[in-house]
Amino acid sequence: MKKVLKDITFGQYVESNSFIHRLDPRTKILLTILGIVFLFLADSNNLFSLLVCIVQVAIIIAFSRVPLRMYLKNIKAILPIIVLTTIINLFYGSGEVLLSFWRVTITTGGVNRAVYMAVRVILLILLSSVLTYTTTPNDITDAIESLLSFLRIFGLRTAVHMLAMMMTIALRFIPTLVEETEKIINAQKARGADLESGKLFQRIRALIPILIPLLISSVRRAYELAEAMECRCYNGGVGRVRMKELKYGLRDITAAAVMLIFCGGVIAVNILL
């Protein structure tokens, strides 16, 4: 139990001052989405198309100045999913039959598909890791608020702000809750609570002494936080100004241009080769 809690590393931000770290978070979010879309636009029958994507992600990772082992850690975490998709894809597709037994046939098309799918999933994880490693959770929520601000033409301005505030608070309180949970677990263990053995039903029942105090303390914390926010005149975002304004700069244009060149490259390779 305790181990599981320790493994939740949230806010994976890695401190650095690289080119990518200094990009506007909105640029990073938009370009990440763009990159992911183009991973799937790359023609799966065209080796060069995927190669362009690989080069692109490799360059981005190099510029992020985050240790490579951090990225490998994330890939390791979803390795089972990669293996599963690869195996499933192996049995689909047509083409020259490579292997045939019982009702299963493996074709060149299937192998092709499996490899492409695996590479794509890995690139997808790497690309989104770049975002979370180089952007603080607060910056991400600020960027989401800013990106969604077009909704205010539908009269949803406060709603967008509230959503962003809720995300910020939720992220902020994850470590606090983890700590609190550990404390409660220890306290109930000290009273002889058994969390590690028994059948499934017993194990679920054993969680009650932990979940109820946790729920109560969360509600208490929410009230306290709401009061503290009101004491500082928080009123839901109307007329609120920021200390750190998000601003696009030259480097955002550079990054966007580089990304667009690569996307153009993917399209060109898809058509030409």
Partner 1 sequence: MSSILEVKNLCFSYDPNNKDGKYAVHDVSFSVEKGDIIGIIGHTGSGKSTLVQHLNGLLKPTSGEVLLNGKNIWDEPKKIKDVRFKVGLVFQYPEYQLFEETVFEDISFGPKNMGLSGEELTARVNEICEVVGIKKEYYEKSPFDLSGGEKRRVAIAGVMAMRPEVLILDEPIAGLDPKGRRDTVSMIKQYRKAYGATVIIISHNMEDMALLADKLLVMNKGSIEMFDTVYNVFSKYDRLKEIGLAVPAAAEVLRRINEKNSSIRTDIFTTKAAAEYLCAYAAGEKGA
User: Closest CB to partner 1 among 81 and 216?
Assistant: 216
- 208 counts as binding partner 1 under rule CB under 8 A: yes
> Residue 137 Cβ, how far from partner 1 at the closest point, in Å?
24
- The distance from CA 34 to its chain's CA centroid, rounded to whole angstroms, is 15
Which of the stretches 25-33, 124-132, 151-159, 206-214 binds partner 1 when contact is defined by CB under 8 A? 206-214
* Closest alpha carbon to 197 in 189, 206, 188: 206
User: Closest CB to partner 1 among 22 and 203?
Assistant: 203
- 213 counts as binding partner 1 under rule CB under 8 A: yes
User: Closest CB to partner 1 among 62 and 225?
Assistant: 225
Q: Which of 77, 87, 170, 216 binds partner 1 (CB under 8 A)?
A: 216
Q: Which of 85, 121, 209, 237 binds partner 1 (CB under 8 A)?
A: 209
Start-to-end Cα distance in the chain = 53
Half-sphere exposure of 241 (CA within 13 A, CB side): 1
Percent helix, strand and coil across the chain, each to the nearest 5: 75, 5, 25
- 271 counts as binding partner 1 under rule CB under 8 A: no
CA separation for the pair 36, 126 (Å, rounded): 10
User: ∠ CA 15-174-159 to the nearest 5 degrees?
Assistant: 95
CA separation for the pair 229, 206 (Å, rounded): 36
136 exposed, middle or buried (CB, 10 Å; 0-12, 13-18, 19+)? middle
* Number of other residues whose CB lies within 10 A of the CB of residue 90: 20
- 221 counts as binding partner 1 under rule CB under 8 A: no
Number of residues that bind partner 1 (CB under 8 A): 17
Q: Which of 33, 176, 194, 236 binds partner 1 (CB under 8 A)?
A: 194
Q: Which two three-digit tokens encode residue 106?
A: 């493996």
User: Closest CB to partner 1 among 22 and 183?
Assistant: 183
- By the 8 A CB rule, do 149 and 157 touch? yes
> Residue 74 Cβ, how far from partner 1 at the closest point, in Å?
21
Which of the stretches 28-36, 71-79, 116-124, 184-192 binds partner 1 when contact is defined by CB under 8 A? 184-192
- 176 counts as binding partner 1 under rule CB under 8 A: no
Q: Which of 128, 217, 218, 270 binds partner 1 (CB under 8 A)?
A: 217
Q: Using CB under 8 A as the criterion, which residues of the chain lie in contact with partner 1 when the complex forms? A: 183-184, 186-194, 208-209, 212-213, 216-217
